[in-house]
Structure 1
Amino acid sequence: MKYRTIGTDPRTRREVSVLALGAMLFGTATDERTSFALLDHYVEAGGTFVDTSDNYAYWADGGQGGQSEELLGRWRRSRGVGDEIAVATKLGARPLAPGTGFVDNPEGLSAKVIREAAERSRDRLGMDRLDLLYAHIEDRTVPLSETVEGFAELVAEGTVGLLGVSNHAMWRVERARATAAAAGLPGYEVLQYQHSLLRPRTDIPTQLFKEGSLGHAGPELFSYLDAEPGLTLVAYTPLLSGAYSNPDKRLPDDYDHPGTPARLAVLREIAGETGASVNQVVLAWQIGRPMPVIPLVGASSVEQLKESLAAVDLDLTEEQHARLDAAH
């Protein structure tokens, strides 16, 4: 396994594995026995960075979520896991009532919600301090200063380490970070966005953004990362839910454009050159980028996880990286 440091403050920064494990479906679609096996294998391979959210997976039973955090709490207790495994969770997108969702009825990012939701997450996970806590989705109904101060209070109290942000327009990320900096408060240091080799169109409205795919890590986000070297990108859905390798998985409509076949062709060429799978090439391309990117992978079997873990040791050449970057 390889590792990198996230965060800049010596009091809260963490060294984590370059491949993160997503626990979104643990405790629902992925049963407890399989989930424990996946977590055990990940840790045995040197993995130290597990990701969840307080709303995972509310859609499984029409409830409010919490199943993933609860399972991770049971796993941590049964294995005696301590601070050696960094656990990231998120708040803001938990439905306020069963039968609703994050679009029509989210908990939001008020100071009250931040405090109460973080406490519930700590209880479910069995942790005195959350290693990394994300603002999961935007809440434009609450003053940004209230959200910034709400997160900062938890850091000051020692119940949260690093702060992160996901699925926000970049201008909102910058404004929140500037607000925090002006007040001498900790700000977002980890950005979690969808990112893969294939690029979606950005002009198609989504559930979260009527303006287009603002939850995707595009040129604006990478420009921001270049200007702010202390930040880290955690890339969710890097393998597009199996669409690279499973012919039965259809790419979403926003990937239907001329650039997709061109990038797939180069990806398959390099997979052939390296003897690796296309999934492994995608992950190795992300891990080997000059800017810090940590792929966040899901798995429903140990074999799937082993394939992803093997990508950590796949070193693409500069020429192969350049070809992947240039394909369009």
Structure 2
Amino acid sequence: MTERNTDNPDIIDLLPRLEDADAGVRRIALIELADLEDLDALPWLTDALLVDAADEVRAEAARLLEAWEEPEVVQALCAALADTAEPVRLAAAQSLSELKSLEAGQLILPWATHADVFVRASALRALRELRLEDAAGPALLALSDQDAGVRREAVGILGWLKHQPAVPALAALAATEPDTEVRRAAIGALGLARDVSVLPALVAALADTAWQVREEAATTLGKVGHVQAGPALVQALADDYWQVRLRAARALGRLRHVEALDALGELLGHGIANLRKEAALALGELGQARAMPVLQAAEADSDPEVRKAVRIALTQLRGTV
């Protein structure tokens, strides 16, 4: 147990209940203790997290500690990731993910290579939000972790950091990773690169077996913003899933890929209103006056959001002629 010293009368009044034989009494006392927002309360909170006999009390302590950034709190939450009770582990992981200081990140870093899968994944998840440059090394190593959840969190870190040295590894992961969500995350993270080196991986992903990956590939190609992606995105406008078509239409609008005009015009007759809306907006971004007739024909669309998108597109086009 950590050393406990306080002259706060409110804390002193709570001590008998904090040591009560009934776990429910101890849990409520912890809540009242945390409400005091006094640093002197931390030893009782961290000890409750680490040594209390009741799972419910340890889990409550983990939840209550989410607002604290002190080193002893971070260390206690990291240790609780390996607790025997799942509710405690989950609460500790959630509280760690709420931390905002880079100093906290330095304390979390060693746990990213822990032997336990849950601990590794939770530590990486917490590090992602902090955008700590030192986390890039452990994240790169974790790309080859045996657990898909760990790999997914590692990809998230590298994407948030925009870690350029990770681009080749992410491109390889996008092509060979067996887990759909990890492939999707890797494709999204490739958006950190603004050069043509990522185009082969992204274009290949437009033919992925999972529509979610194809959708992500279309989105990322729009963000990367290279006109060479235009032909592949035009093909994606015929994807079996409308979600992929929608993202491809959006990307083509951003790229102002004129060759997509006819294919986008055909989408104005699609049964999904969201897709018609996106196609209309993309046609406006192309800046081609010859798109006006097909847009004018869609001014009476049954969906008000589509009609609004058509008006926006026509206004854009009238400004170009």
- Pick the TM interval, shorter chain: under 0.3
Please identify the structure whose Cα radius of gyration is greater. 2
TM-score using structure 1 length: 0.25
Which is strand-richer, 1 or 2?
Answer: 1
Higher relative contact order (CA 8 A, sep 6+): 1
Higher helix share: 2
Relative to the length of structure 2, the TM-score reads 0.26
